[in-house]
Structure 1
Amino acid sequence: KMQQPTPQRLDRAPPSNPSNPSGAGPPKVVQPTPQTLPARGSGSAILVSPRQKGNPVLACLKSVPWEYSDIPADYGLGLTTCALFLSLKYHRLHPEYIYTRIRNLQGKYNLRVLLTLVDIPNHEDALRELSKTSLVNSVTVVLAWSAAEAARYLELYKSYEHAGHAGFAAIRGQQPTGYAERLVEFVTVPRTVNKADAVALVSSFGSLRNAVNASPEQVSVVGGWGEKKVRAWCRAVEEPFRVWKARA
């Protein structure tokens, strides 16, 4: 008689899906944990609206790349900065154009620059009206007298996009902090007056008030102050700050 071997119990294999040990039904899908993605930057290129095709400013953009994009402004200089371009010659023919463009940008950018190309001889009245509009609509007016200068402003704004306070401080330059430095800066506003002249002037009269109120004859006695410097200084301190009365 042939004897059969005694059956032996084998250990149960572990379930293939720990979340579904019974094996009943399809395995449960485990969703990945959402991760916060870093904020997307505006890139290193200036975004240009197709409206600007043919603008000579584009040919002058050399140090910063640019690309066309469907944006409400003319130039995208960052996530919160944009620029509108305006030729005064075009503005004289179509005065309502820029006001509509500014109105359409309300609430879309923190800094809105109106890059204005001064290409007409009699520009005072036009700039005065644009200045009033910029104050009402929180727009910064930047004047350029050539396409190359306008392009340089765009490159400058773009290059300082992530510079923060340090970048704007670099644009503004080093500001005088002490009283003596501010005093010298004020006195040297006329181009013919240098720092040594400023120190000599204030030292001779004892104070800035006395120097401002001094007559041309008294100023001419100061060492190093010739007729040209005296005339420039007296013209600077005697002319009124406001030449014309502001129009209503």
Structure 2
Amino acid sequence: MDGNRSESGSGVNSPAPSASSGQPKVQQPKPQTLVNRPGPSAILVSTRQKGNPILNHIKLLPWEYADIPADYVVGTTACALFLSLKYHRLHPEYIYSRVRLLAGKYNLRIVLVMVDIPNHEDSLKELSKTSIINNLTLMLCWSAPEAAHYLELFKSSEHAQPTAIRTQQAQSYKESLVEFVTVPRSINKSDAASLISTFGSLQNAVNAQPEQISAVPGWGGKKVQQWCNAVREDFRVETAKKSSATNTRLPSQPQQPTAQPQEQDMYEDEEEMLRSALAESRAREPAAATANDRQEKAQEEEMSEGIAVALAKLRE
């Protein structure tokens, strides 16, 4: 009785002992969220690709055979189908059956096409339409090492951020200046620095003569020629050609074809000559009312009427 009173009066709530062993209650561990594991580090290759020379050139990353519907798996959601145009010409139904087996298992579906025939335009046009309809990405290669390099690039960029392929923009005036000067292919950053340090400003470098630019250290004849061509090339602005005349016609009349520029100029010259001749004939007034003058005047009036009729026909 006394022992029970001392335990209850102490004010300490000790864990109740187990009925069987007398030890404290076991505390259960808390569950932890597991991070999603990345895909396999190796390129998965279908057994259909045994003997393909591409496999001999995949050296930067490991690869292994696997039972997959695609030819190559280069990511968790990316795959590739290999197609030779020479084989496609003999078996055009092969690629369609392979695409049908993929269904919707991968987000990025690549068709790696080996261009190994001379006349490939029609085949590539057909494959381009097929890629658009079936949500495929068409990649062309001309050799086995190039095809292997593409597979390695896709696999190595599986977990890359979008900023990895984003171009870096210039943050200062100096960087913008160097970026502008290095637009020609043969001019590098050191050439840009020597050019600006020699002339002091971009304006002086643009207005400098080729003989002065050739005196810059590291600037040869090829660089000088490319720089001068780049800064002295005219800007070409294409403007729409405006029609010189407007056609006026009735709604019921068909539209007449417009004359060519040379023919139109010829018609305008003839019309101007007829107008001048008609003006000269009408400007002549008779000085006396003689019979001969009247006869000449009648002839001139007939000639004027003929000119007017010819001018009206020309206008029509």
TM-score normalized with structure 1 length? 0.61
Q: CA RMSD in A?
A: 3.6
Report what 1:209 is aligned to: 237
Give the Cα–Cα distance (whole angstroms) in 2 for the partners of residues 105 and 68 of structure 1.
18
- Residue 20 of structure 2: SS of its match in structure 1? coil
Structure 2 gaps of 5+ residues are: 4-14, 171-175, 185-224, 242-316
- Answer yes or no: is the 8 Å Cα contact 1:160–1:168 preserved in 2: no
Q: Deviations over 1:41-85 (max 9, x none)?
A: 123211111111110000011111111111111111111111110
Give the Cα–Cα distance (whole angstroms) in 2 for the partners of residues 21 and 155 of structure 1.
61
Matched, 1:199 2:196: no
- Residue 63 of structure 1: SS of its match in structure 2? coil
User: Counterpart of 1:68 in structure 2: which amino acid?
Assistant: Y
User: Counterpart of 2:122 in structure 1: which amino acid?
Assistant: D
1:1-248 equivalences under 5 Å are 21-23=18-20, 32-169=29-166, 194=226, 196-202=228-234, 207-209=235-237
Give the Cα–Cα distance (whole angstroms) in 2 for the partners of residues 139 and 196 of structure 1.
45
Give the Cα–Cα distance (whole angstroms) in 1 for the partners of residues 27 and 90 of structure 2.
65
Higher helix proportion, which one? Answer: 2
User: Counterpart of 2:47 in structure 1: which amino acid?
Assistant: P
Q: After TM superposition, give the deviation of residue 105 of structure 1 in Å.
A: 1.8
- Residue 102 of structure 1: SS of its match in structure 2? helix
Cα 1:140/1:97, change in 2 over 3 Å: same
User: Counterpart of 1:164 in structure 2: which amino acid?
Assistant: Q
Give the Cα–Cα distance (whole angstroms) in 1 for the partners of residues 105 and 63 of structure 2.
21
Give the fraction of aligned pairs with identical amino acids, expressed as a percent. Answer: 58
Q: Deviations over 1:159-208 (max 9, x none)?
A: 11111213333xxx6799x9x96xx79xxxxxxx9564233113xxxx33
Give the Cα–Cα distance (whole angstroms) in 2 for the partners of residues 119 and 174 of structure 1.
37
- Answer yes or no: is the 8 Å Cα contact 1:115–1:144 preserved in 2: yes
User: Counterpart of 2:108 in structure 1: which amino acid?
Assistant: L
Cα 1:69/1:132, change in 2 over 3 Å: same
Q: After TM superposition, give the deviation of residue 22 of structure 1 in Å.
A: 3.1
Q: How many residues align?
A: 180
Cα 1:79/1:19, change in 2 over 3 Å: farther
- Residue 233 of structure 2: SS of its match in structure 1? helix
Quick check: which has more Rg, 1 or 2? 2
Give the Cα–Cα distance (whole angstroms) in 2 for the partners of residues 19 and 102 of structure 1.
66
- Answer yes or no: is the 8 Å Cα contact 1:47–1:77 preserved in 2: yes
- Residue 109 of structure 2: SS of its match in structure 1? strand
- Answer yes or no: is the 8 Å Cα contact 1:48–1:67 preserved in 2: yes
- Residue 237 of structure 2: SS of its match in structure 1? helix
Give the Cα–Cα distance (whole angstroms) in 2 for the partners of residues 167 and 106 of structure 1.
30
Q: After TM superposition, give the deviation of residue 94 of structure 1 in Å.
A: 1.1
Give the Cα–Cα distance (whole angstroms) in 2 for the partners of residues 92 and 20 of structure 1.
82
Give the Cα–Cα distance (whole angstroms) in 2 for the partners of residues 106 and 20 of structure 1.
61
Give the Cα–Cα distance (whole angstroms) in 2 for the partners of residues 31 and 113 of structure 1.
49
* Greater RCO (Cα-Cα under 8 Å, separation 6 or more): 1
Report what 2:264 is aligned to: none
